[in-house]
Amino acid sequence: MKLSVSPPGWSSSMRPLQLLLLAAELLLLSPAPCAQAAAISHGAVSDMVSGLDFAGVGNFSTFLLDRSSGMLYLGARDAIVAVDTANLSKRLKIVWSVPEDKRKSCVAKGKTEADCNNYIRLLEFLGDGRIYACGTYAFDPQCAFVNISSFSLEKLEDNSVRMETGKGKCPFEPSQHYTAVMAGGVLYTAATSNFLGTLFDISRATGPEQERIRTERSINWLSDPEFVSSAFIQENEKNNPTGEDDKIYFFFTEVAKEYDLYTKVKVPRVARVCKSDIGGMKTLQRRWTTFLKAQLVCEDRASGQRFNVLTDVFTKQHQPGDPSSTHFYGIFTSQWEREEMSAVCVYSLEDISKVMDGPFKELKKSCENWMNPEPVPSPRPGQCLNNALKTEGFESSLKLPDKVLTFMRDHPLMENSVVSVPLLVRSGVTYTKLAVTLTTVSNGNTRQNATVLHLGTDRGELHRVAVVGQNATLMQELPLFPAAEPVNNILLNKGKAIVGSPHSLVRLPAEGCSLYTTCEECARARTLGCVWRQKEGACDLAVTEPGEGVEPEYSDSQCGNGEDRCSPATTELRVVEGLRVLLSCVQVSPRPCHWKYPPQRHARRHHSDLEVRVTPESLGNYECVCEEAGRDQPPCRRAAYSLTLEEPVTGSNTGQTGSRHFVVGYLLFFFIGFSLACAIFIIRLRRSKRGGGHSSSISEKGRDLLPSSDTPQSPSSASLLSEAVPFTEKRNGTLNGHGNHGGHMIVQNCTHIYSNSSGLKLQESAVNLAEELDGRERAGPEGEEEGLGEGLSELGDGLVGLEEEMAKLQVLRGAPLAQCEESSI
């Protein structure tokens, strides 16, 4: 197969214009990626409903599932919707809107009409047949009660909705970060508590009035936080010998105060409060006396990359009924990386408890350094009530001495961090939501644990990743929503996954080998005990009974014959010099891929793909060889390309070529005339200043101020692209997958141009055009260049000096720590 990149009749001097017109032609002629996503998603999911099916209701933000009945309650804009997960066509709706006068008052305060609606952000079961619902209510949060049996809002005698204030229970703004959890019928929230969104509280929002407590208004407690998730960990009543109190955990990202930097550094945190905490008697009145927080560290040790922004957390008990086996799976991104990158780390409750029981961090004023304070008063500050404390006479937090409460108020941060290594790291993908299922894989007489991560992206995709030991394997990438809406909710129930976006809802199978409909997808699920059965043409369990061995005819799990799988046809690519092409290599196994290429190539890696800059030396054959999942499997050739130079053709298109030369000549003439006008103006200005008797000083000032009066230009695209990013193969706990696998075309952006069938991927046309313009000399008559004059020469010298100074600046990728700092991020 051949792909011509340079249309015939285009000379090399027309290459910048050629690239621009070529990009426009591809935009017009290439099929719409979004339409492809819609076609793929139609066959990939089992059932989907959108906002049109809900009579125009949209902005779904909150999910509440009744697992016994299978009824799903959704909080939306001006409405609460109930959907039967067994049959998505069965739907009920409650309208809860804002009165018109209140809406107008909200707009008058400077808010948009779209935000001055009632966005339902909280839905929680009360345990008495009702649901507690709270909404933004035009920036005046209100809460109401939903009767589940009649699915209606409780009303007063005058037929108005029974409401109570939602301040501290629900955010004011629809887009504000927020989390809440119900613990024993009492609501615990982490939200903003004022109209401007500048005050943040973690509070007990319901229950007796005297027990409604919150965090201290101090940046040492909460510093511009972005709340992510919360979890209620209830102790086992039958197996709790020490009488430990129940605890509530909050996960968020905040601006760190322990790092003395010239920029704001975000840090992921986990905070803990105790259920029986009711505040102090004199110190910390109506404030938490058990609020402790610690830093979460998610660091890839192979590359040293640390992910410092937490976006979602999923809580999972590894042993049902045992709260001590709880693990928290978190999605992280990096504040410092300019490209999309996501990582998944997991933290055990045991590790978090050890850090909370460890040393405290304190700021030493002498050198502005954080250190471990001494001595720590007794009983230990922040400790939850247990049998030992009750024996000492501390039956309540009201009886704690002031020295303990004062220490607690000034030392909410722990010295140690909760450290984890990523289960997977992926570039070019932004994950938004996460759900986890655990399974045990049996292979003959051996059994091993496996974790399946169900990851939603900001482009409406669902990715399934299997983690077995230290290997992570990308098994599926499913585009779900035609409009590429971000995934904001994932619920797993009875073998089904309910995936939601702001305007759509999808139901699809969640587990089982039958999910993988192709041989290659089944091969990726091999670590889960799945094999492809050629006779049935389906993916099935390799072992169905304990002690059963894998049948010989299925144990190899070969997808087709060896020639089809490991001997792909060589794709010939006809390219032009200076172009950048991205050679695709589909990677199935978590093991790395290697490229074989000409020795004088100009290329760099993008995951398993290879970016090549076309030069005479880089022409030739390129071959991608990937290691297979099994150690005894030989390497498999996944892709092969041949780059050949497209020769310009002249003849029939002489008139068209001449017209293009005329356009280039006209533009060249325009720039030369503009340069001459600038030169004459500068020469006259200098002569007039020399005539005034101040030639020396004014001339020097003019040269100094001239560069600074112009806007500094950013580095050229060529210089940015020339900074090769080192590629590190990650084999332990890092995913080496790419966005396209198993024949699925995953649409990353509706404006991105690429050709998956031929393996050629064009980079951004603007980058190529800028690079061509930067790297090519502008030809012109010598007489015209000499006629620019002395003034233009000095102008050029000033700009060159400015360019040299700009070149010395390094791109900011991180922030150095202060001289007196002990910790590092």
H/E stretch holding 105: helix 100-108
Of 327-331, 334-338, 681-685, the one with minimum mean pLDDT is 681-685
For helices 765-775 and 15-29, give the axis angle rounded to 10 degrees: 180
DSSP H helical segments within 283-384, as ranges?
349-356
Task: Give me the chain's average pLDDT, please.
Answer: 75
Give the closest residue to 796 by CA, choosing from 665, 678, 664, 668. Answer: 678
Contact 328/345 with Cβ under 8 angstroms? no
pLDDT of residue 260: 67
Cβ contacts of residue 59 below 8 Å, gap of 6+?
A: 76, 77, 119, 174, 502, 503
DSSP-assigned letters across all residues of 132-184: EEEE-TTTS-EEEEEETTTTEE-B-TTS-B-EEE-BTTB-SSTTS--EEEEET
| Pick from 343, 262, 362: nearest CA to 296 | 343
And the tokens for 111?
């808010």
Q: Which residue has the higher pLDDT, 517 or 116?
A: 116
pLDDT score of 598: 84
**What's the average model confidence in pLDDT over 309-332?**
94
Average pLDDT, integer, range 583-587? 77
Tracing tokens 């927080």 back to the chain, one arrives at 293
* Cα–Cα distance measured from residue 509 to residue 416, given in angstroms and rounded to the nearest whole number: 41
pLDDT greater at residue 384 or residue 616: 384
Task: Give CA–CA dist 143/170, Å, rounded.
Answer: 8
**Nearest residue to 422 (alpha-carbon basis) of 350, 343, 349:** 343
Give 714's DSSP letter.
P
Query: Can you give the pLDDT at residue 302?
Result: 78
Q: How confident is the model at residue 240 (pLDDT cuts 50, 70, 90)?
A: confident
Tell which residue, 9, 136, 38, 71, has the closest CA to residue 576: 9
CB 313 within 8 A of CB 228: yes
The predicted-structure confidence for 401-448, as pLDDT tens digits, reads as follows 999 999 999 999 999 999 999 999 888 889 999 999 998 877 666 778
The answer for residues whose C-beta is within 8 angstroms of residue 4's C-beta and 6 or more apart is 574, 646
For residue 240 the two structure tokens come to 């709790």
Q: Could you give the CA distance from residue 692 to residue 697 in angstroms, rounded to a whole number? A: 11
pLDDT for the residue 537: 83
Residue 50, pLDDT score: 77
CA distance 201 to 804: 49
Cα→Cα distances 74→137, 230, 431, 498, 702, Å: 16, 19, 22, 12, 66
Average pLDDT over residues 506-511: 89
Note the pLDDT tens digit of each residue in 280-297.
Answer: 999 999 999 999 999 999
- Measure the CA–CA gap between 663 and 651, rounded to whole angstroms: 19
pLDDT in tens, 133-180: 999 999 999 999 999 999 999 999 899 999 999 999 999 999 999 999
More confident residue, 517 or 315: 315
Note the pLDDT of residue 797: 52
CB-CB contact of 351 with 410 (8 Å):
no
Instruction: Mention every residue, 6+ apart, whose C-beta is less than 8 A from residue 505.
Output: 48, 49, 50, 60, 74, 83, 88, 498, 499
Q: What is the pLDDT of residue 663?
A: 56
Alpha-carbon gap, residue 57 to 119, rounded angstroms: 11
User: CA 663 to CA 171: how far, in whole Å?
Assistant: 58
Strands 369-371 and 362-364: antiparallel
Model confidence band, residue 664 (pLDDT cutoffs 50, 70, 90): low
Q: Given this model, what pLDDT does residue 444 score?
A: 61
Is it the case that residue 759 has pLDDT exceeding 70? no
571-581 pLDDT, tens digit per residue, is 888 888 888 88
For residue 74, pLDDT over 50 is answered with: yes
pLDDT at 735 > cutoff 50: no
- E-strand ranges in 483-635 read 489-493, 496-500, 504-509, 530-533, 538-541, 571-575, 580-583, 593-596, 603-606, 609-613, 620-626
Calpha distance 699→705 (Å, rounded): 10
Exposed e or buried b for every residue in 266-299, given b needs 16+ CB within 10 A?
bbbbbbbbbbebbbbeebbeebbbbbbbbbbbbb
pLDDT given for residue 371 in this prediction = 58
What is the reported pLDDT for 692? Answer: 47
118 three-class SS: coil
Residue 238 carries which DSSP code?
Answer: S
Nearest CA among 68, 66, 64 for reference residue 80: 64
Q: What percent of the chain is modeled with pLDDT above 70?
A: 67
Per DSSP bridges, beta strands 461-468 and 446-457 are antiparallel
- Please state which of the ranges 56-60, 66-70, 363-367, 618-622 shows the lowest mean pLDDT: 363-367
Q: Diameter of the chain by CA atoms?
A: 103
* Per-residue model confidence (pLDDT) at position 541: 81
Q: Which residue has the higher pLDDT, 769 or 388?
A: 388
Confidence at 564, pLDDT banded by 50, 70, 90: low
How far is 394 from 386, CA to CA, in rounded Å? 9
* Residue type at position 387: N
pLDDT attached to residue 632: 54
Which one is predicted more confidently, 449 or 273? 273
**pLDDT for position 473:** 84
Report the range out of 28-32, 40-44, 308-312, 784-788 with the highest average pLDDT. 308-312
**Hey, what domains does the chain have and what are their CATH numbers?**
2-30+565-649+731-770 (2.60.40.10), 60-173 (no CATH), 218-420 (2.130.10.10), 429-555 (no CATH)
Distance CA 781, CA 94 (A): 77
Cα(514)–Cα(86) distance, integer angstroms: 19
Specify the higher pLDDT residue, 62 or 772.
Answer: 62
Q: Which of 77-91, 465-479, 661-675, 700-714 has the lowest mean pLDDT?
A: 700-714
**pLDDT at residue 372 is higher than 80:** no
Looking at 70-84, 239-253, 623-637, 706-720, which range is the least confident one?
706-720
Helix (H) or strand (E) holding 409: helix 402-410
Please give the average per-residue pLDDT across 244-267, as a whole number. Answer: 88
Q: Is the pLDDT of residue 361 over 80?
A: yes
- The answer on pLDDT for 745 being more than 70 is no
- The pLDDT of residue 352 is 97
What is residue 589's predicted lDDT score, i.e. its pLDDT?
A: 56
Q: Is a pLDDT exceeding 50 seen at residue 39?
A: no
Q: What whole-number distance in Å separates Cα of residue 574 and Cα of residue 794?
A: 44
